[in-house]
């Protein structure tokens, strides 16, 4: 494909995405001049570029849409849902033509005259139904207006014929000030003449005798008036600064092929592996001459990795861009009044993850609007505002991204879900009696499950939420659901920042090592016959009694059939990796636990892809290849997901709003107990006190290739001379901080 055409398709696609969301905003705030100016500028740019590239069909549709926007800007046309819908229809048509252009590299043949007539009729204040017969009259309108415009001189003509002339002149003046030369005067005159002729031909569908009369005045206005037109406009002094700013921003960014970034990321991943191998080689030697250079290399590698990761990062708002248009169309179709709130759109995550969550997010927002929100009359009867609210919220927490989709609608109908469960044979009445409402709600994630009374174009087929959960789990994420009848529902999605390099806990079982993604690990527990925590057997199933709660266990040795060695679960010294999948918590029994490492995720070989227990493989610092365990797959194959978590409840504190928050209780700086929200704690670590260093008078420790400050709660804290120091690790994006505590209680 021609580079110019490729660039046009890319930029126009981005502009259309912005137009979608901006038009929805403008419909809600029709007096916002700034939004309207941005919309008009984008549409004008699309029209002008189409004319330059010789794409007449696209140009005509864009020009007709621009005419309506021009009337909005002049204040002669009221902003109505009908008018906005018509412009959105024009944008959809441009999208379709653009898609065909990308596939065939040529503009498709066709006739959009009906749409253009509707847009012209809307611009001229006529009813859409009268668009076709009124066409001749439309041609006369500009002719009658021309003499009236003549006495006022250039400014009126400038406003109608050159709506963005001031912006363009500001850019030209800025370029001249910098000594930039783009084209000769003759070339500019020729280009301007060509654009004016195209503009004139497009604006007059039928020839008229009076039409040529004002033509000689058109080139005169730009030549004589630009300097005069600038001072009268109050906002004019700001425009050169705005133009300069846009030019400066444009010069600071370049377009880079995604494949180039992917290759660069692969090279950095290999560098991380090599660094890990070198660190492994000198780890056992304290006096190695390579220790200091390798430490420096490790820091540089971490900085390089962070820099490359940032090039792949994109704001999650890019995935949300089409949602305002979707919600708006759904609102018109269903008759519901919907207010979409988007919080944290600037939160960044990996481009690959962003692409994978677009469809699940779209489906969930449509579900909230279609299933969750009531009709305006029903909401008023319940004492709610007529306008329903759907809120998206994204933020960083503990090294991963949290996305919440909530609504203030009717919530899930638990009784209806019970009926469908029994009707579909998914569980019996007696089974349901033993389940909590939250457990019953989890059935909506089953394939083919739907409580919709009728099938619509939006939902009701039962092919949505199971696909959403599957797609989220494929990228190592989890999804939770909380719903209160007549209050609303909240879906919480937890996903990793990136899929390329992740933090993982390395464990061993029967001589084989495995990696467990850190995002799924809650805590580690050591068990033996004499330890405080011990494994019990209930109906031949291993259970861990942990802080007065029962935790179901999965033996990795038995589950993977790792040799014939018999494991005495009740007496052998073992380690339990407490893992969370969605709202369910269970333990994985292993023999040994090593350190956490930054691992490079490699795809599973095709011959093993059907095994859901593994999500990938990686190479450790010593060169050995190990498999990466998938806690979601382990839970699914062992049936743990089907188990309730009534007996697994964590310590919770009730907030003022009535919601529950998990907390971590500890001793620090005295005998009084202290607590911190568990969601804020990324890791619980025990730091070897001999590894603690000092930066000035401040204690620090090497943690995952970076220096992590250690902050005691008590300023008079006395550091141990030997042993290990409990530390609560908090993370904020790329930075970590360790809170020094005396003892972790619960």
> What is the tens place of the pLDDT at every residue in 294-305?
888 888 988 888
Cα distance between residue 674 and residue 685, in whole Å: 18
Domain 663-744 sits in CATH at 2.40.50.180
Cα 208 to Cα 133, 141, 193, 201, 337: the distances in Å are 17, 11, 20, 12, 47
Task: Please tell me the predicted confidence (pLDDT) of residue 485.
Answer: 86
HSE at residue 485, side-chain half, CA atoms within 13 A, is 8
Model pLDDT for residues 524-548, shown as the tens digit of each residue: 888 876 777 778 777 778 888 777 7
Cα 201 to Cα 118, 119, 125, 217, 522: the distances in Å are 19, 17, 21, 16, 69
Cα distance between residue 572 and residue 555, in whole Å: 13
H-helix or E-strand containing 508? Answer: strand 501-509
Report whether 507 contacts 575 (CB < 8 A): yes
Task: Report percent pLDDT > 70 for the chain.
Answer: 75
DSSP-assigned letters across all residues of 667-727: E-SSSSEEEEEGGG--EEEEEEGGG-EEETTEEEEEETTEEEEEEESSTTPPPPSSSEEEE
Cα 571 to Cα 241, 275, 535, 550, 608: the distances in Å are 76, 39, 8, 18, 34
Cα distance between residue 66 and residue 87, in whole Å: 9
Task: Please tell me the predicted confidence (pLDDT) of residue 132.
Answer: 45
Length of the chain: 746
Average pLDDT over residues 608-617: 79
At 333, the pLDDT band (50, 70, 90 cuts) reads: confident
Average pLDDT over residues 584-595: 87
Report whether 598 contacts 268 (CB < 8 A): no
Cβ count within 10 A of residue 397: 13
Quote the CATH superfamily of domain 3-127: HPT domain (1.20.120.160)
CATH for 319-413+462-496, among 2.60.40.10, 3.20.20.80, 3.30.70.20, 3.30.565.10?
A: 3.30.565.10
Average pLDDT over residues 160-189: 48
Higher pLDDT, 249 or 200: 200
Contacts of 612 (CB under 8 A, 6+ apart): 630, 632, 633, 636, 637
Task: Report percent pLDDT > 90 for the chain.
Answer: 7
């024009």: which residue's tokens? 90
Model pLDDT for residues 354-378, shown as the tens digit of each residue: 888 888 888 889 888 888 899 999 9
At 399, the pLDDT band (50, 70, 90 cuts) reads: low
Is it true that 501-638 and 663-744 share their CATH fold? Answer: yes
Q: Structure tokens of 193?
A: 């003449």
Higher pLDDT, 327 or 670: 327
Q: Structure tokens of 67?
A: 């005419």
Domain boundaries, the chain: 3-127, 268-314, 319-413+462-496, 501-638, 663-744
Residue 256: phi and psi, rounded to 5, are: -125, 135
């209930």: which residue's tokens? 538
| First-to-last C-alpha distance (Å) of the chain | 62
pLDDT value at 413 more than 50: yes
pLDDT value at 30 more than 80: yes
Helix 81-104 and helix 3-28: axis angle, to 10°?
160
Model pLDDT for residues 657-704, shown as the tens digit of each residue: 344 567 788 877 777 788 888 777 877 788 888 888 888 778 888 877
- Strands 535-538 and 549-555, sheet pairing: unpaired
Cα distance between residue 707 and residue 736, in whole Å: 9
**Which region holds residue 604: left if phi is over 0, alpha if psi is between -120 and 50, else beta?**
beta
Cα distance between residue 203 and residue 120, in whole Å: 10
Quote the CATH superfamily of domain 501-638: CheA-289, Domain 4 (2.40.50.180)
Task: Please tell me the predicted confidence (pLDDT) of residue 287.
Answer: 63
Cα distance between residue 394 and residue 89, in whole Å: 31
Cα distance between residue 503 and residue 628, in whole Å: 11
Higher pLDDT, 237 or 300: 300
Radius of gyration of the chain (CA): 32
Average pLDDT over residues 133-148: 39
pLDDT value at 719 more than 90: no
Task: Please tell me the predicted confidence (pLDDT) of residue 186.
Answer: 54
Higher pLDDT, 363 or 284: 363
Average pLDDT over residues 312-329: 87
pLDDT value at 467 more than 50: yes
Cα 59 to Cα 113, 156, 211: the distances in Å are 12, 24, 22
At 220, the pLDDT band (50, 70, 90 cuts) reads: very low
- Strands 706-712 and 735-740, sheet pairing: parallel
Average pLDDT over residues 108-126: 87
SS (H, E, C) 333-402: HHCCCEEEEEECCCCEEEHHHHHHHHHHHHHHHHHHHHHHCCCHHHHHHCCCCCCEEEEEEEEEECCEEE
- pTM of the full predicted structure? 0.59
Averaged pLDDT of the chain: 75
At 490, the pLDDT band (50, 70, 90 cuts) reads: very high
Task: Please tell me the predicted confidence (pLDDT) of residue 737.
Answer: 87
Burial class of residue 195, CB neighbours in 10 A (0-12, 13-18, 19+): middle
Cα distance between residue 308 and residue 264, in whole Å: 8
Task: Please tell me the predicted confidence (pLDDT) of residue 398.
Answer: 64
Report whether 745 contacts 678 (CB < 8 A): no
Q: Structure tokens of 573?
A: 């010294």
The CB-based long-range contact list for 115-119 (8 Å cut-off, 24+ gap) reads 115/61, 115/64, 115/89, 115/90, 116/60, 116/61, 116/64, 118/86, 119/64, 119/65, 119/67, 119/68, 119/86, 119/87, 119/90
Cα distance between residue 368 and residue 439, in whole Å: 20
Model pLDDT for residues 53-77, shown as the tens digit of each residue: 888 888 999 999 998 998 888 888 8
Q: Structure tokens of 299?
A: 């820091």
Q: Structure tokens of 511?
A: 């001589």
- Strands 574-581 and 521-527, sheet pairing: antiparallel
- Strands 673-677 and 743-744, sheet pairing: unpaired
Highest mean pLDDT among 55-64, 183-192, 244-253, 257-266: 55-64
Among 98-107, 153-162, 672-681, which is the least confidently predicted range? Answer: 153-162
Task: Please tell me the predicted confidence (pLDDT) of residue 542.
Answer: 83
H-helix or E-strand containing 270? Answer: helix 258-282
Average pLDDT over residues 708-712: 86
């Amino acid at each position: 494909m021609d580079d110019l055409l490729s660039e046009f398709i890319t930029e126009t696609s981005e502009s259309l995405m912005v137009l979608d969301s901006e038009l929805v905003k403008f419909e809600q705030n029709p007096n916002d001049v700034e939004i309207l100016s941005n919309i008009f500028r984008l549409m004008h740019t699309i029209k002008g570029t189409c004319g330059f590239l010789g794409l007449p069909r696209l140009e005509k549709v864009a020009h007709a849409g621009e005419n309506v926007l021009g009337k909005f800007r002049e204040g002669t046309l009221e902003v109505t849902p009908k008018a906005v819908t018509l412009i959105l229809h024009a944008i959809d048509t441009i999208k379709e033509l653009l898609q065909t252009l990308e596939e065939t590299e040529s503009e498709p043949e066709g006739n959009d005259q009906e749409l253009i007539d509707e847009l012209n009729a809307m611009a001229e204040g006529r009813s859409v139904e009268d668009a076709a017969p009124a066409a001749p009259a439309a041609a006369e309108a500009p002719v009658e207006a021309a003499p009236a415009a003549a006495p006022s001189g250039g400014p009126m003509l400038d406003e109608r014929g050159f709506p963005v002339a001031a912006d363009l002149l500001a850019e030209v003046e800025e370029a001249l000030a910098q000594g930039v030369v783009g084209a000769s005067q003759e070339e500019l005159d020729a280009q301007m003449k060509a654009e004016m002729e195209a503009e004139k031909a497009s604006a007059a569908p039928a020839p008229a005798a009076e039409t040529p009369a004002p033509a000689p005045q058109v080139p005169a206005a730009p030549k004589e008036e630009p300097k005069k037109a600038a001072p009268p406009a109050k906002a004019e002094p700001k425009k050169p600064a705005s133009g300069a700013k846009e030019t400066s921003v444009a010069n600071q960014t370049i377009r880079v092929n995604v494949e180039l970034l992917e290759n660069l990321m692969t090279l950095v991943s290999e560098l991380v592996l090599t660094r890990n191998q070198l660190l492994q080689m000198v780890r056992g030697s304290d006096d190695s001459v390579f220790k200091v250079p390798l430490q420096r290399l490790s820091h540089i590698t971490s900085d390089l990795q962070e820099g490359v990761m940032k090039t792949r990062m994109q704001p999650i708002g890019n995935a949300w861009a089409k949602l305002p248009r979707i919600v708006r169309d759904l609102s018109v179709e269903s008759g519901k009044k919907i207010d979409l709130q988007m919080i944290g759109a600037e939160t960044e995550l990996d481009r690959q993850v962003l692409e994978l969550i677009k469809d699940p997010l779209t489906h969930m927002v449509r579900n909230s609007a279609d299933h969750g929100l009531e009709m305006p009359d029903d909401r008023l009867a319940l004492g709610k505002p007529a306008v329903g609210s759907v809120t998206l919220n994204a933020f960083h927490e503990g090294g991963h991204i949290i996305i919440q989709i909530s609504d203030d609608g009717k919530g899930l109908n638990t009784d209806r879900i019970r009926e469908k469960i029994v009707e579909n044979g998914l569980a019996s009445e007696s089974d349901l009696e033993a389940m909590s409402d939250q457990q019953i709600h989890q059935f909506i994630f089953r394939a083919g499950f739907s409580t919709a009374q009728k099938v619509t174009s939006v939902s009701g087929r039962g092919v949505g939420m199971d696909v959403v959960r599957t797609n989220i789990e494929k990228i190592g994420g989890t999804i939770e659901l909380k719903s209160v009848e007549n209050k609303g529902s909240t879906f919480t999605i937890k996903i990793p920042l990136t899929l390329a390099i992740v933090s993982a806990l390395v464990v061993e079982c029967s001589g084989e090592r495995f990696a467990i993604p850190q995002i799924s690990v809650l805590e580690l527990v050591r068990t033996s016959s004499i330890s405080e925590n011990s494994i019990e057997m209930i109906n031949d199933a291993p259970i861990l009694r942990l802080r007065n709660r029962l935790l179901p266990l999965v033996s990795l040795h038995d589950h993977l059939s790792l040799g014939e060695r018999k494991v005495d679960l009740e007496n052998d010294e073992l380690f339990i990796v407490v893992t969370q999948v969605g709202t369910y918590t269970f333990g994985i029994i292993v023999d040994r636990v090593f350190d956490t490492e930054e691992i490079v995720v490699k795809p599973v070989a095709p011959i093993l892809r059907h095994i859901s227990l593994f999500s990938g493989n990686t190479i450790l610092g010593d060169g050995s290849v190990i498999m990466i365990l998938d806690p979601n797959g382990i839970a699914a194959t062992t049936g743990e997901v089907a188990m309730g978590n009534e007996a697994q409840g964590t310590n919770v504190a009730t907030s003022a709003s009535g919601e529950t928050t998990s907390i971590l209780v500890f001793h620090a700086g005295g005998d009084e107990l202290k607590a911190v929200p568990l969601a804020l704690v990324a890791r619980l670590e025990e730091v070897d006190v001999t590894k603690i260093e000092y930066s000035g008078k401040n204690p620090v420790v090497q943690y995952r290739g970076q220096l992590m400050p250690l902050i005691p709660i008590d300023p008079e804290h006395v550091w141990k001379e030997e042993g290990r120091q409990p530390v609560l690790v908090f993370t904020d994006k790329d930075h970590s901080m360790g809170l020094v505590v005396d003892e972790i209680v619960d």
